[in-house]
Amino acid sequence: MSEPRRFAVPGIVLVALAASLWGSDAILRRFLAVGEISASVIVMLEHVLLTIVFLPALRKVRPTIARLDAKDWVSLVLIGGGASILATTLFTQAFSYGDFIAPALLQKLQPVFAILLAALVLGERLMRRYWFFFAGAVLGAWLISFPGQTRALFSGGEVSFAVQESEAALFAVGAAALWGMGTVLGRSLTPKIPFAQLTALRFAIGLPIGILVVLFQGRMAEVSALSGTQWWAVLWLALIPGGAGLLIYYRGLGRTSASAATLGELAFPLMALVYGWFFVGNEIDGVVLTGVVVLIGVITAMGLAQSKRKDEGIGVVAPKDEEPALA
């Protein structure tokens, strides 16, 4: 008698679940950012918890790091200090201005920056096709960030920019650019460092940098002032979107094609809109919705093109004598 077959959750469902969890990251990050706790303290506490979570992987890194050269260590420090601490701090700070939709969705610019930085850092050549994707992403980001100014442009009204609105967009875009940098540098390290160990090193290296930032700002006392609700929010941020979200996402990637995973990731912007409407009361502005459609359409088209033709599908040619690498 044959054993009953065990049910396996489809990979695209796991990817979509992980993307939905990342949406909860944005809503909780906004809850913490609009309070009295500073962005640097929030990010430092996240790294404390995430370093503890990844301690089993961190205990295995000694043989791995013994093989690293100076260039690899520079990349690790830039990943930990830039792509982890600084990027997450900028992203968190973007929510402190009150808006939810724009900071949450502008992080979808990350792959656009990753490809551009790969050309600068790894020597990959950008084809004309890439700039069409880039222009579409910039258009979508503009519509999401500045709906009022867009309406003024088309109606012939006066176009003005509020300082807070502009700063929130710049912080979110800066975070996306730094995460893109982390993607590029991580690609150069993955042949030498397994994913779990690289993630553990990212948090472990970022932690002392985050502590130094908080000490320099004189904000360490804020830790003792956190309420029970704020502690639960920080705990959720670190363990669910940060820890479980990553594990579920990569488990899903192992069970599905890249094109299906790209579609599954659409759960993030959709859930961000739902979270923003339900928890924050953000009305879904027509211009913003148009920007969401444009930006997500561009990123999805890039993902589908890349899954079919590697990087050449999105207009990237790897250096000679190298295989095209996924961005």
Confidence of residue 325 (pLDDT cuts 50, 70, 90): very low
- Tell whether 64 is covered by a domain: yes
Residue 302 is part of which domain span? 11-317
Question: Mean pLDDT across the stretch 72-78?
Answer: 95
What pLDDT score does 324 carry?
Answer: 39
The tokens of 46 are what?
């996240």
Confidence of residue 245 (pLDDT cuts 50, 70, 90): confident
More confident residue, 88 or 269: 88
- Among residues 305, 327, 275, the alpha carbon closest in space to that of 112 is found at 327
Question: Mean pLDDT across the stretch 214-243?
Answer: 91
Q: Which of 26-30, 108-112, 216-220, 279-283 has the lowest mean pLDDT?
A: 279-283
Mean pLDDT of the chain: 82
CB 276 within 8 A of CB 25: no
Separation between Cα atoms, residue 225 and residue 5, nearest integer Å = 52
More confident residue, 69 or 318: 69
- Proportion of the chain in helix, strand, coil states, percent, rounded to 5: 75, 0, 20
CB 118 within 8 A of CB 184: yes
Residue 153 clears pLDDT 70, i.e. is over it = yes
- Tell whether 4 is covered by a domain: no
- Tell whether 69 is covered by a domain: yes
What pLDDT score does 322 carry?
Answer: 46
What pLDDT score does 323 carry?
Answer: 43
- Tell whether 102 is covered by a domain: yes
- Tell whether 82 is covered by a domain: yes
Question: Mean pLDDT across the stretch 220-232?
Answer: 92
What pLDDT score does 327 carry?
Answer: 36
- Tell whether 168 is covered by a domain: yes
How many domains in the chain? Answer: 1
- Tell whether 230 is covered by a domain: yes
Residue 116 clears pLDDT 90, i.e. is over it = no
